[in-house]
Amino acid sequence: MTELAPYAVSERNSRLRRIPEAPPNSRSEFQRDRDRIIHSTAFRRLEYKTQVFVNHEGDLFRTRLTHSLEVAQIGRSIAHNLKLNENLVEAIALAHDLGHTPFGHAGQDALNACMEEYGGFEHNLQSLRVVDLLEECYAEFDGLNLCFETREGILKHCSPLRAPALGDVGERFLQGRRPSLEAQIANLADEIAYNNHDVDDGLRSGLITLEQLSEISIFARHMDKVRSLYPALAGRRLVYETVRRMINTLVTDLLDRSRENIAAVAPDSLDAVRAAPALAGFSPEIQREQQELKQFLRTHLYQHYRVARMTSKAQRIIRELFRGFLENPRLLPPQYQEKAGSGKPRAISDYIAGMTDRYAIREHRRLFAVEET
Ligand code: MG
């Protein structure tokens, strides 16, 4: 491993685990965190959870699992270049979506609406809940007992109202402090990954077209470049060559800008990073272009009528499942009835949030279709 910057998270400055454990003997603490995440049930469920398209719509679209792997890949290479802790970035990236409901953002919005009177539902907080509480693997504790810095990275935002209940990982939201650079990088790698793969999936699905995207500056200038190099190139290869250049531009810009910010503040420790303004970021020009792309995706992909139809079905499934269980908790699988100690609505929310797309569809059918049991 390359030498870490003095402000990187390391085992020396880590606040480690809530329940102390003997140090690992064949890997680092953050490799251990990553490995625990990979072996978790919630991680395997990501394979069948939607990013934008519902899982059964096609085998080639991103799922939350492949999305998380892309975030980890992008995050690792940025971390490596900035001499940050790659294993920590990887662990955060692989865990960042563990709390996502089925059916992507539609599912999260629906569950949040159902939980309105009971403290709400937020997928970041749920990811933390998964690793702190819900995973059942170990004899001596609930959850995965991950290091503080991994948990801090998973909780990328949180309202000041909710922060006090979260203990150590909530503190920074009350004190106006930043998380580690590793957490900042994982968060931006997420943004790079989804903007680009949504372009790719959007094109593959036929919901958006190359003609439309040629109006969007970051896409247009990279596609023009590819076309000038390879005038005969078309179809998948043209898209791939364009998207890979966009990712490369974003990563390079992020590295340049973050290096400048770091040089200006010259943090000499992890604490100095936490006290400084956010040090990882894009240049204003790239940020503008990213905004334009995001706006395009929102209007033409996320709000496309075919996506909207799926969204509305998904929300109905979540709503009806929630109401059904709330009215009659005896319909819940026994292990969730027992967990109702944390409050019935929260136990129901945990159960629904854990479902994959197809499991939610099946469970809905089992509950409401007369011919199913
Ligand atoms: Mg994500």
Residue 281 CA to ligand 1 centre (angstroms): 17
Residue 97 CA to ligand 1 centre (angstroms): 6
| Phi, psi (rounded to 5 degrees) for 283 | -70, 155
Give the Cβ contact number of residue 161 at 10 Å. 9
pTM over 0.75: yes
Residue 282 CA to ligand 1 centre (angstroms): 18
Residue 190 CA to ligand 1 centre (angstroms): 5
Cα–Cα dist 244/235, whole Å: 15
Using CA of residue 279, residue 283, residue 284, residue 289, what is the dihedral sign?
negative
Residue 154 CA to ligand 1 centre (angstroms): 10
Residue 194 CA to ligand 1 centre (angstroms): 7
What are the boundaries of each domain within the chain? 29-309, 318-368
Cα–Cα dist 101/110, whole Å: 10
Residue 105 CA to ligand 1 centre (angstroms): 11
Which CATH code is given to the segment(s) 29-309? 1.10.3210.10
pLDDT tens for each residue of the chain, 373 residues long: 569 999 999 999 999 999 999 999 999 999 999 999 999 999 999 999 887 766 666 666 788 999 999 999 999 999 999 999 999 999 999 999 999 999 988 899 999 999 999 999 999 999 999 999 999 999 999 999 999 999 999 999 888 888 999 999 999 999 999 999 999 999 999 999 999 999 999 999 899 999 999 999 999 999 999 999 999 999 999 999 999 999 999 999 999 999 999 999 999 999 999 999 999 999 999 999 999 999 999 999 988 988 888 889 999 999 999 999 999 988 988 888 776 566 789 999 999 999 999 999 999 999 998 876 6
Residue 149 CA to ligand 1 centre (angstroms): 18
Cα–Cα dist 194/246, whole Å: 12
Paired residues of 50 in beta bridges: 63
**CB half-sphere exposure, 39, CA atoms < 13 A:** 11
Residue 227 CA to ligand 1 centre (angstroms): 31
